[in-house]
Amino acid sequence: MRVLNIVSAVIVCLWLMPKTCLEQIDPDKIGVRKSIEGGVSEGDYLPGWHLSLPFVHSWYQLDATLHYLDFSDDAGTALDVRTKENNIIFIDCVIVYHIIPGEAWMLVREGLHQTYDAKVKSAAMGILREKLADLSNIDVQDADKREKATAIALPAVNEAIRQYHVAATHVTVRGIRFRPQYEEKLQNKQFFVVQGKLDEALQRQSKAAQDTETLEKTIDKEIALKTEEWNKKIEELKSKFELEIAAIEAEGVTYDRKRRADGDAAHDAAIAEGNLAETRAQALGEKLRSEALASQAGRTYSAIEAVKGFKLGDIQMNSSDPGFLQKCCSMEAWRKFFLAETGP
C-alpha cells in the first residue's frame, strides 16, 4: 500500500510538473522571461518548453509572424499626402514588418511590447508622407515611378522604426486616388488625352490605309508588267523550240529515209549476191555430179540406182538357140547393160 502511494505521488508530480515548472512557447510566438530578482532575461526564447519556477518567473509571448500595417480606404486610414502641385492624394498602401530576431526581450524591458504597433504606425506614416510627397500628379499615375518612390522609402522607414526593434520587409502601394473634384478634372484631362491619341491613331490608320492602297496598286502594276514580260519570253522560247523541234524532226525523217534507202540497197545487193552464189553453187554441184557420175564409182552408183528401179517383163526364150542365156542373162551381159561397158 505504501509503494502504491509513492507511485501515485510520483505520477501526480510528473503530471503537474509541466504545468507548474515549464512554460510552453507556441510556434508562432517569441518567449520573453522575467524573474523577480533579475528582471527581464536577456535573450529570446524559441518555441518549445522552458523552465519556469512558480512565483519566480513570469512570461511574455510576442507575435513572431509578419505584421501588416494597413493604410486603406476600407479601414478609413488611407494615407493623405500632398504632391508637388499642392494637391492632396489618398494612398492605399501596406507595410510588412516583423520583430527583429533576438530583440523581443528589449521590447519588454523598454515597456514597448504593448504599444510598439502604434508607435511603428506613427513613425512609418511620417516617413511615407515625406518620401511620397516628392511625387507629382503625373508621377503618381506611373507605376514604375511609384515603385521607385516606395523603394526609396523602405530604408527610411526601417531607420525610423529600428528604435522599436522591428524591421520592414515591404512597402507596397495598392492604390492612389485624388479628391473627387480633382479626380473629375483629371479624368476629363485623361479623356482628352486619350481622345487626342485616338485621333492621332485614326490619322495614322488613314495614312497607312492610303499607303497600303498605293502600294497594292504599285504591286498590281508591277505584277501585270512582269506577267506580260514573261508571257512574251514564253512565246519567244516556244517559237524557238518549235523551230528547233521541226528541224530535228526533218533531220530525223531525212536520216530515216537515207538509212532505209541504204538498207534496201544493201538488202538487194545481198539478195543478188546470194542468188549468184546459189546459181554458181548449183552449177558447180552439177559439174561435180557429172564428174562423179562419169567416174568408175559414179557409173557403179548409177548402175546400182538403175538396178533398184529396173523391172524385167515377160521374156520368151527360144529353146532352139542355146546361146541366148549367155547373151542375155549372163553377168557380162548385165554389166554391159547397166555399166555401159564394152567388151574386148
The one-letter code for the residue type at 262 is D
Quote the cell numbers at residue 261.
534507202
CA 60 centroid distance within chain:
63
What is this structure's pTM?
A: 0.48
| Contact in structure between 45 and 32 (CB atoms under 8 Å) | yes
Torsion 63-69-73-77 (CA) sign: positive
| pLDDT tens-digit map of 272-316 | 888 888 888 888 877 777 766 666 666 676 767 666 656 666 656
Given a contact cutoff of 8 angstroms between Cβ atoms, the answer to whether 25 and 31 are in contact is: yes
Q: So what's the pLDDT on residue 23?
A: 81
Q: What is the pLDDT of residue 267?
A: 82
Measuring CA to CA, which residue among 24, 35, 32, 25 is closest to residue 57? 35
CA–CA separation, 318 and 296 (whole Å) = 35
Written as one string, the DSSP assignment of 248-304 is HHHHHHHHHHHHHHHHHHHHHHHHHHHHHHHHHHHHHHHHHHHHHHHSHHHHHHHHH
Q: CA-CA distances (angstroms) from residue 156 to 130, 133, 213?
A: 10, 14, 60
Q: Indicate the pLDDT class of residue 105, thresholds 50, 70 and 90.
A: very high
Return d(Cα 150, Cα 195) in angstroms, integer: 32
328-335 mean pLDDT = 62
The mean pLDDT value for 318-331 works out to 60
Confidence tier at 344 by pLDDT (50, 70, 90): very low
Q: Detail the DSSP E strand segments found in 122-273.
A: 166-178
Give pLDDT, residue 65: 92
User: Mean pLDDT across the stretch 55-84?
Assistant: 82
Average predicted confidence (pLDDT) for the chain: 79
Reduced to 3 states, what is the DSSP secondary structure of residue 109? helix
CB 83 within 8 A of CB 61: no
DSSP state of 329: S
C-alpha to C-alpha distance for 289 and 270, rounded to whole angstroms: 28
Please state, in angstroms and rounded to a whole number, the distance separating the CA atoms of residues 149 and 336.
Answer: 161
- pLDDT value of position 286: 75
Say if residue 325's pLDDT is above 60: no
Q: Give the span between the Cα atoms of 78 and 131, in whole angstroms.
A: 16
- Locus of grid cell 481622345: 195
Give me the sign of the Cα torsion angle 298, 303, 306, 307.
Answer: negative
Given CA atoms 141, 145, 147, 153 in this order, what sign does their dihedral have? negative
Q: Which pairing describes strands 29-35 and 39-40: parallel, antiparallel, or unpaired?
A: antiparallel
Helix and strand element counts for the chain (H, E)? 8, 9
- In percent, the amount of the chain with pLDDT more than 70 equals 75
Structural domain spans, the chain: 4-181
pLDDT band per the 50, 70, 90 thresholds, residue 102: very high
Confidence of residue 17 (pLDDT cuts 50, 70, 90): low
- Taking the C-alpha atoms of residue 86 and residue 92, their distance in angstroms, rounded to an integer, is 19
* pLDDT confidence bin for 120, thresholds 50/70/90: very high
Give the homologous superfamily in CATH for domain 4-181.
Band 7 domain (3.30.479.30)
Q: Which pLDDT score is estimated for 324?
A: 59
Share of the chain above pLDDT 90, in %: 10
In this structure, the number of other CB atoms found within 10 A of the CB of residue 104 comes to 25
